[in-house]
Chains A and B, each alone.
Chain A
Amino acid sequence: MAVTEASDTSSGRKIAIASGKGGTGKTTVATNLAYVAACAGKSVAYLDCDVEEPNGHIFLKPDFAKATPVGTLVPKVDYARCTHCGKCGKICQYSAIVSMDKTNLVFAELCHGCGGCKLVCPTAAITEVLHETGTVEIGSAGPINFVHGTLNIGQVMSPPVIKAVKEAAPPAELTILDAPPGTSCPVIESLRGCDYVLLVTEPTPFGLNDLKLAVDMTRALGLNFAVVINRADMGDDKTREYCESNDIEILAEIPDDRKIAEAYSRGEMACEAVEKYRSTFTELLEKLGEKIATI
């Protein structure tokens, strides 16, 4: 899974909104940024990469034009050609294909779709078929191109669905990726190939603990990033102190405002529901613009 993505040929910039901790406000920041960027006349693509629980559509309310099944390409063995040499089973690190004396077994749900078994098969007995694990939907929310993925129930591997979301995205001046929470494979897949990362946190011990993990992850990926503190007037000052002592810039602070929560509960965006937040997110977009212009 550690294959580097080919560099983007278009001039557009990709910004990922990530967090570490869940529920800090990634989707709030991502959707509002997409909204104000579109209002400013930019071409915008919003990619909901949280395929286990996508929810950006609740706020941006897209009309979907197309749904495509996606998943992993898994091996299919042609027994007329198979000589049971065992090379496919030996190369597979996940025991997804097993070569026994008289037959081969394929465990599709363990397959990471690397295609190694097909490559090493000396008799070309292996072809690849789609093991469907999710759906990618494409549509538009006004001027915003909207893409999201949904992982099927019972599936454990979200990165192939996230990858499909990214591949389905139409080119845009600004692509905003709403990443899943956490710091493992699904987040890495979302952040790969992005130009900049915004880490959304809240000033609580939980938010700070997971922010530190997210900072370590983002630095390990070699990506430029800054922090947004949501519900900034609750909790304590430890998050600010941590950012200061680690040279991490805080690009925006969003207050713990009941009006934002009320809008959220109705599936409305803060900058639509409360006029003053339009300038909060417009300022954040401008600061981001300065950051990504210099990359």
Chain B
Amino acid sequence: MKIAITSQGQDLAADVDPRFGRAKCFILVDTETGEFSVHDNAQNLNAAQGAGIQAAQNVAALDVEAIITGNVGPKAFATLSAGGVKIYVGATGTISQAVEQFKAGQLKCVDQANVDGHWM
């Protein structure tokens, strides 16, 4: 299964970025093979608004089944859902640890945003 994780760094030893829209980058991991690739999010990091929506579109375009992050707001949630991406929140530690937490079923799949938007 292909999943994406919000990351503060460029490899599996990096920490999970708790922010979704303004995450440093996304790491795409194949849970079967352990292969990974890094996808930049710099453009959204500096966006005035709509960062969560843009990031969600980018993640959906990666064709992943799930996104693992710390928190997700209402607009990002709506966009990810429209893209058919499942959302798991509450991940902590490194990317490797988050993948293990996911495989062990320890992360919560959410059916709504777990934090408020930044604008209203």
Q: Which A residues have a C-beta under 8 Å from some C-beta of B?
A: 89, 94-96, 98, 100-103, 105, 107, 109-110, 154, 156
User: Would you give 21 A-B contacts (Cβ < 8 Å), ordered by A?
Assistant: A89-B57, A95-B49, A95-B54, A96-B50, A98-B53, A98-B57, A98-B79, A100-B82, A100-B83, A101-B60, A101-B83, A101-B84, A102-B82, A102-B84, A103-B82, A105-B53, A105-B82, A109-B120, A110-B119, A156-B119, A156-B120
Closest 9 CB pairs of A and B: A95-B50, A95-B53, A100-B82, A103-B82, A100-B83, A94-B50, A105-B82, A95-B54, A154-B120
Interface SS majority for chain B: helix
Which of A94, A100, A154, A156 has a CB less than 8 Å from the CB of B60?
A100
Which of B49, B78, B84, B119 has a CB less than 8 Å from the CB of A105?
B78
Tell yes or no: B19 within 8 A of A by CB: no
Collect the chain A residues with CB atoms within 8 Å of residue B79's CB.
98, 100, 105
Q: Please, how many angstroms separate the alpha-carbon atoms of A230 and B62 in the complex? A: 60
Tell yes or no: B75 within 8 A of A by CB: yes
The smallest beta-carbon distance between A199 and chain B, in angstroms, is 28
Interface SS majority for chain A: loop
Interface size on B, residues (CB 8 A): 14
Q: Please, how many angstroms separate the alpha-carbon atoms of A182 and B60 in the complex? A: 40
The smallest beta-carbon distance between A84 and chain B, in angstroms, is 11
Collect the chain A residues with CB atoms within 8 Å of residue B49's CB.
94-95, 110
Collect the chain B residues with CB atoms within 8 Å of residue A100's CB.
57, 60, 79, 82-83
The smallest beta-carbon distance between A65 and chain B, in angstroms, is 32
The smallest beta-carbon distance between A132 and chain B, in angstroms, is 15
Q: Please, how many angstroms separate the alpha-carbon atoms of A102 and B57 in the complex? A: 13
Q: Please, how many angstroms separate the alpha-carbon atoms of A103 and B82 in the complex? A: 7
Besides A101-B83, A110-B75, 8 new A-B residue pairs in contact (Cβ under 8 A), listed by A number: A94-B49, A94-B50, A95-B75, A98-B53, A100-B82, A102-B82, A103-B82, A107-B50
Contact call A98/B82, Cβ cutoff below 8 A = yes
The residue in chain B whose Cβ has the minimal distance to the Cβ of A89 is B57
Collect the chain A residues with CB atoms within 8 Å of residue B50's CB.
94-96, 107, 110
Collect the chain B residues with CB atoms within 8 Å of residue A154's CB.
120
Q: Please, how many angstroms separate the alpha-carbon atoms of A96 and B49 in the complex? A: 10
Q: Please, how many angstroms separate the alpha-carbon atoms of A107 and B53 in the complex? A: 10
Q: Chain B 21-60 against A: per-residue CB contact (8 Å), 1 yes, 0 no?
A: 0000000000000000000000000000110011001001
Collect the chain A residues with CB atoms within 8 Å of residue B60's CB.
100-101
- A109-B119 contact in complex given A95-B49, A95-B50, C-beta closer than 8 Å: yes
Collect the chain B residues with CB atoms within 8 Å of residue A156's CB.
119-120
The smallest beta-carbon distance between B110 and chain A, in angstroms, is 18
